[in-house]
Amino acid sequence: MHPSSLPSIRIYRARFSEITRRSVESALRRLGQPDLKVSQAVDVRQELDLRIGAAFTRFQTMRLQRRFPSLANQLLSYGSCQFPTMGFVVERYKAIENFVPESFWKIRGEVAIKKSGKLTFFNMFFSPPPSLLPLLQSSTR
């Protein structure tokens, strides 16, 4: 479709490299015009990842199946993102395995303020930092 036949709408691009609230909100405050060269570079990286991944998966599968007959019915996949992703999975697994439960306190309060004949209610929540927990525990005994 030729660009002149597209509806006249404004398109903006948010640029961020991590999916965190801070990073996404920052990107949304700094929207910019799309860059055709950046878009084309992304397309090329995707295509290369697919082609190299498929070729190397085939190569390593065939090579390792010849060397290790027990892998005869196995596909040994390669992808440029698989190794770092596996690192994230292992890191998360270790964090879960090493988790030590801690006491958790949440304090809830309700406040009513009367101003100009109007009553306004507020709910407040406070989760004290771990350093205050011993003080709170000793005061409840």
Rg (CA), the chain: 28
User: At a CB cut-off of 8 Å and minimum separation 6, what does 80 contact?
Assistant: 49, 52, 53
The pair of structure tokens assigned to 20 is 């965190």
Query: Three-class SS string for 79-105?
Result: CCCHHHHHHHHHHHHHHHHCCCCCCCC
| Tens of pLDDT, residues 29-69 | 999 999 999 999 999 999 999 999 999 999 999 999 999 99
| Tens of pLDDT, residues 24-36 | 999 999 999 999 9
What single DSSP character describes residue 118? E
What single DSSP character describes residue 32? B
Mean pLDDT over 120-139 rounds to: 66
d(CA 37, CA 46): 14
Which residue in 64, 62, 43 sits closest to 54, CA to CA?
62
**Cα separations in angstroms, 32 against 39, 88, 102:** 13, 31, 44
Tell whether the model's pLDDT for residue 141 goes beyond 90.
Answer: no
d(CA 87, CA 131): 32
Mean pLDDT over 79-88 rounds to: 85
The pair of structure tokens assigned to 40 is 């084309």
